Structure formats: C-alpha cells, structure tokens
Amino acid sequence: MSTSYLTLFILTVSVAFKYAHAGPPAPLNVTFPEKPPTSALMNVVEDHFIGVSFELSSFDTLWGKSVNLQPTAMQNYMHNLAARMSKPLRIRVGGNGMDGSTYISNMTSVLEQVEDDPYFNDIPVNFGPMFFDILNGMADKIGAMQFLIGLSMRTPDNFTNVQTLALAARQKLGDRLDALLLGNEPDLYAGHGERDAYNISAYVPEIGASLDLLEEVGAMSEEEKIIGGPTICCSWTLDDVLSAGLDQYFPYKYYTLQHYPKHACSGENADNTNITYFTTHSNVENYVGWQTDGVLKAQSQSVPVLLTEYNSVACGGSNISATFATALWAVDVGLKSASMNYSAVYLHTREFGVQYNLFDPPTPENSTEPGWRTGSPYYGALFLAESTYEGGTIIIDLNLNNSITSPTATVAAYGIYNANAERASLALINYAGIPQVFVLPPGMTEKVQIKILTAPDVYEKTNISWAGQTVSTNGDLEGDLQLVEMSCENGCQLTLPGPSAALVAFGDGILFSGNSTIASIGSYLSNAPTFSTLPCLSLFALFIGTFAKLLF
C-alpha cells in the first residue's frame, strides 16, 4: 500500500471509530417556510443556473480538432447537463490563457500552442475561426447552448486583435453568443507583472475606450446588452469598481466575478489540502458572500451577476480537489450562490491532469477514445442541473441545525421554490461519515421522490453515484436509475447515508428520469482501454466502505 493510500486508510478508519463510539446523531427537524421571505423573491434563477467554464488552452483536446471528430464522451458530458434544463446550457471559454492568446482569422486549425514551456497557470495559444465551428458543432449535436467568450484587456493600446475576435464571435455564433467578457482578472494584472501599478482608476477609463472601439467595428452597439465584466477575482471589489464609474457606460448585460476559496499557486500546503474546510457549511457563507455589497448594488441596477469561474483550489487544485468532498461542496456553493443573488455559476475545468477537472480524456492526444476519467465536481454539476425548475426557481438556506454559522454542523439544507413561490423540493447535504435522519413534518407535502448523490466516504474519487448511476468512460450514465419514493402526508423521516446529498422533490414526475446518453463510441476509434485510470483507489474505497459498515 502506498504512503498516500495508507494515510487515507488511517484517516478513514479513525473517522469510522469516532462515529462508532459517539453513536448516531439526533434526528433533525426540517423547517421549510410555506412561502419564501420577501428578500428571496428578488432573485429568481433560471433552470440553466449551472454552467461549465473551460480554459481556452486545452479546448481542442476536450471538444475536438474538427466538427466531424468531436469526442463522444464530451457530447455525453454536455448532454447529461443540457437534458436536465429547458434553457440553453451555459458555456464560458476564457481564463488567463485566453487573455494572453491571439485570434488569427486565416488560421485553419482550432488552436496551436505558441510556447514550448509556458507558465502552467497562463498558457497562451493562437486560435482561429474553427474554434467557433467547434462550438457550433457541439451545439448542433447536443442541443441549445449559449456561450460567453473572453476578450483581453492586457494590451489596450493594441486592441485591433480584440476587435477582430469580438466581431468574429458575433458573426460566427449569432444568437448562441450570450456575452463578450471584457478582461479577465484585471485586479491581478499588476501582481502578475503584466501592467505596472495597474488599479481601478486606470481600469475604468480603459473600459470606456475599449467599448468605443468595439462599437466602431460593429461588434456591439448602445442599443443592445452584449458585454460582461469586470471578471475580478481577488483584490478589487465589485462595489468599488461600480462606484469608480463602471456603471456609467451603456448597460452591461452581466457583472461577472470568479473566485476560489483556496489556492495552490505555490504548491500544496496544510491550508489547501485541508478537506475539513470543504465539508463545513459555515465556510460557504463567507466564500460566496465575499462580494455581497457589489452584488446587491448590481441587483438594484437590475444587472445579473454571474460567478463565471469557481472550483475548489486555484492554480490546478490540490490532493483533495478530486474527492467526493468537493462534489458536495460544489453543490453547496451552487445552491448558496442562488440564495445570495447570483444568477448563474460556472464550474471551471482546465487542461489534462488538473486535479479539480470535471473530466479528463485518456490522454490529450486521444480524446476521441473511451477511457475518460470523470472528476467529482462533475457529479456536483449533475445535481445542480436538476435542482432548478423551468420558469424560475427561488432558493433559500434553511440554516438547519444552525449550520450557517456553526462550524460543528455536519449538514446543510436548502428550500427550493418554483416561480410561483410554492414549495417544490429540498436539497439536503450530510457531510458526516454516518447516516443522518431528516424529519419532515405533517402537511409539508403528500409525497416525495428522492435522488441521492453518495460515495463511501469524503475521500473517495471514483466510486461516486448519482441516483444509483455512475458516469462511465464514455461520459454516459451507467446503472439503473434509483428513484426513492415515500409518502409524507403525515410526515416522514428521510435517512441519508454518510456522506451524501439528496434532492427531495415534492410530488412525482418532477425529477429527470430519462436517458441523457446521445453518443456511442464511434467506429473510427482504436482499441483504447475502457477501465478507470484509478482502479487501485476504487478498490481501496470499496474495501473501506465495507470495513466501515462492519463497525456499525
């Protein structure tokens, strides 16, 4: 047994013994108001609340190098999400790399690397019109999609390339273009040495000049909303940027932010490998609420705020980024964001091998083959895709067991209302390693249907299931769908395994029950392996799960 597996074994056994001696936790009574508070009515999210963000530098290895050879796994990954929505699936392509990349209008390939050994967190490429063909090709295959495309502000005195890119995006994507995001993390330009002493006072006038140049070439007009920004992440606040004059310009379609709770830019350490942070609901309030003043100001201006990039640990993740804990955390953050006035959130994924990725091909060179690895955050995206309703959704944090502020609480609960402000479902999270009973009182609902997201423990990376199904090596859901039904007219008790999250729909026929697989493995493929790339860890997790059960 390797050192890392031995460490996980010791931690898991320790947790199991702890709970075995402590006894089962007390049942928790769920209080779900019949109507949401007035403040919650201000933020009704649409049913494509969850989106996916992609770094440009690895785009062709994930979406394909031609329209005719787009990976069947990616088609399934995307359609699994899109099938659970009535609105177009939200996709953002950008990142630090796109901010340093160059659009070449006569280029015949999707993209090409321009540096032999680029900085891992900022990989520039050249890319051409086929990039948009690939976007359209995927939308033609899987259904309605809408795209956010990043525009650079690193060199505003040489803006011609950005104008060309923006105009091409408008022409090639048409109605599928959701918005152009002007600038990526400008609050880090000075810290990264890209713009000396750059600050908000310099940024705001440059925005005005950039908007004028985009309008000059026909990439936008004052009569339409197509621009998003400022896409800050770290050292500026949205409130300060708006107060400095960003809101003086003709209306933005979105104000955009991106944020990670931890980073590993200088490597792993005790802070960014602390899994307990991600299994404590009280930490989510501070993380999501980092820009509350600016978000509320945007709401008063009727401008939606998007979290266009989030995941566990910035700069490629740490050793906990692929664990089941981050799947539960991704769900918690998504629901919390909806309750705190965000209009959409995008889980971010990057080049092959990044630890927080939603999915990885067998190798960057063999993305059209089976053998893909599904990252734990993708399961969080599946859960979120089913958590919202056609016509609009209102979500509130129920503060179960004082979980908003209590660092010892091991649960979270959200009340989900439909657009008519009627109780529609509950989202329950059990971060603990043992079962938790949730008690629904009489009169709340006559019947529930339940889907459960679960794994043997929070350290698990592969043995994860959503409603009994696991994502296979071709991006499709394998196994029989498990939909639990219970009568609740006189109240009921829901026992969630530990750890897990449950989506509890009031009534029947609400939760998705179809087959979202659209693409089988193509005949052009070679004999690629179809087993998990981490078989040893999966077997180890099964052993631990069996061992833990014996303790009870």
pLDDT digits (tens, 9 = 90+) for 115-147: 888 888 889 999 999 999 999 999 999 999 999
Tokens of 254: 């979105």
pLDDT reading at 548 higher than 70:
no
Angstrom CA distances, 426 to 35, 444, 467, 513, stand at: 14, 11, 15, 18
pLDDT, position 545: 40
Query: Could you report the per-residue pLDDT of 416-459, keeping only the tens digit for each?
Result: 999 999 999 999 999 999 999 999 999 999 999 999 999 999 99
HEC secondary structure over 198-221: CCHHHHHHHHHHHHHHHHHCCCCC
> How high is the mean pLDDT of the chain?
90
Q: Do 393 and 94 contact (CB within 8 A), yes or no?
A: no
pLDDT in tens, 494-529: 999 999 999 999 998 889 999 999 998 863 444 333
Would you state the pLDDT for residue 508?
86
* pLDDT value, residue 40: 94
Closest C-alpha to 423, from 450, 448, 453, 451 = 448
Q: Give the Å distances, CA to CA, from 130 to 59, 104, 108, 227.
A: 12, 10, 7, 23
In DSSP terms, which residues pair with 502 in a beta bridge? 428, 452
> Measuring CA to CA, how many Å separate 518 from each of 32, 191, 290, 358?
38, 45, 39, 19
Residue with tokens 């087959």: 515
Helices (H) and strands (E) in the chain, counts: 14, 27
Structure confidence by residue, pLDDT tens digits, 152-184: 998 888 899 999 999 999 999 999 999 999 999
- ∠ CA 410-411-416, nearest 5°, is 165
Instruction: Determine the pLDDT at residue 173.
Output: 98
Residue ranges of E strands in 211-361: 227-232, 254-258, 262-263, 305-310, 313-314, 344-349, 359-360
Dihedral-angle region of residue 95 (phi above 0 means left; psi in -120 to 50 means alpha; beta otherwise) = left
Greater confidence (530 vs 516) lies with 516
pLDDT surpasses 50 at 270: yes
Q: What is the DSSP letter of 327?
A: H
pLDDT in tens, 73-98: 999 999 999 999 999 999 999 988 89
Peptide bond into 535 cis (omega under 30): no
How far CA 170 is from CA of 111, 218, 225, 252, in Å, comes to: 19, 9, 13, 16
For the four alpha carbons of 353, 354, 356 and 359, in that order, the dihedral sign comes to: negative
3-state SS class at 23:
coil
Q: What is the number of residues in the chain?
A: 552
Helix-strand-coil percent breakdown of the chain, rounded to 5? 35, 20, 45
d(CA 485, CA 541): 28
Is the Cβ–Cβ distance between 507 and 336 less than 8 Å?
no
The pLDDT score that the predictor gives to residue 522 is 62
Its pTM stands at 0.91
Closest CA to 168 of 74, 85, 102, 115: 102
Going by their DSSP bridges, the two strands 305-310 and 344-349 should be labelled as: parallel
Segment 353-401, tens digit of pLDDT: 999 999 999 999 999 999 999 999 999 999 999 999 999 999 999 999 9
Q: Which residues pair with 275 in a beta bridge?
A: none
Is it the case that residue 535 has pLDDT exceeding 80? no
365 token code pair = 């060179």
Residues facing residue 477 across a β-bridge: 471
Q: Which of 315, 313, 310, 322 is nearest to 266 (CA)?
A: 315
Number of Cβ atoms within 10 Å of the Cβ of 354: 21
Could you give phi then psi for residue 199, rounded to 5 degrees? Answer: -145, 180
Residue-level pLDDT at 196: 81
Range scoring the smallest mean pLDDT among 20-24, 152-156, 306-310, 415-419:
20-24
Backbone phi, psi, residue 399, to 5° = 50, 45
Q: Does pLDDT of 200 surpass 70?
A: yes
Nearest to 458 by CA among 432, 476, 437: 432
How confident is the model at residue 118, as a pLDDT?
A: 87
The answer to whether residue 223 scores a pLDDT higher than 90 is no
Angle at 410 between CA 36 and CA 263, to 5 degrees: 95
Which two structure tokens, joined as six digits, stand for 58?
């690895």
**Could you give the residue ranges of the DSSP H alpha helices within 301-397?**
324-339, 376-385
Domains, the chain, in order of start with CATH, read 28-37+397-506 (2.60.40.1180), 46-394 (3.20.20.80)
What DSSP state is assigned to residue 239?
H
Region 320-333 average pLDDT: 98
- pLDDT of 407 reads 96
% of the chain beyond a pLDDT of 70: 90
Interval 4-23 mean pLDDT: 40
Q: How confident is the model at residue 222 (pLDDT cuts 50, 70, 90)?
A: confident
Identify the pLDDT of residue 22.
Answer: 53
| Confidence label for 343 from pLDDT (cuts 50, 70 and 90) | very high
Distance CA 85, CA 87 (A): 6
pLDDT at 539 (0 to 100): 32
Q: How far apart are CA 282 and CA 202, in angstroms?
A: 37
Q: Are 475 and 433 in contact (CB under 8 A)?
A: no
Sheet holding 125-127, edge to edge: 102-103, 125-127, 111-113
> Closest Cα partner for 529 from 474, 486, 492?
474
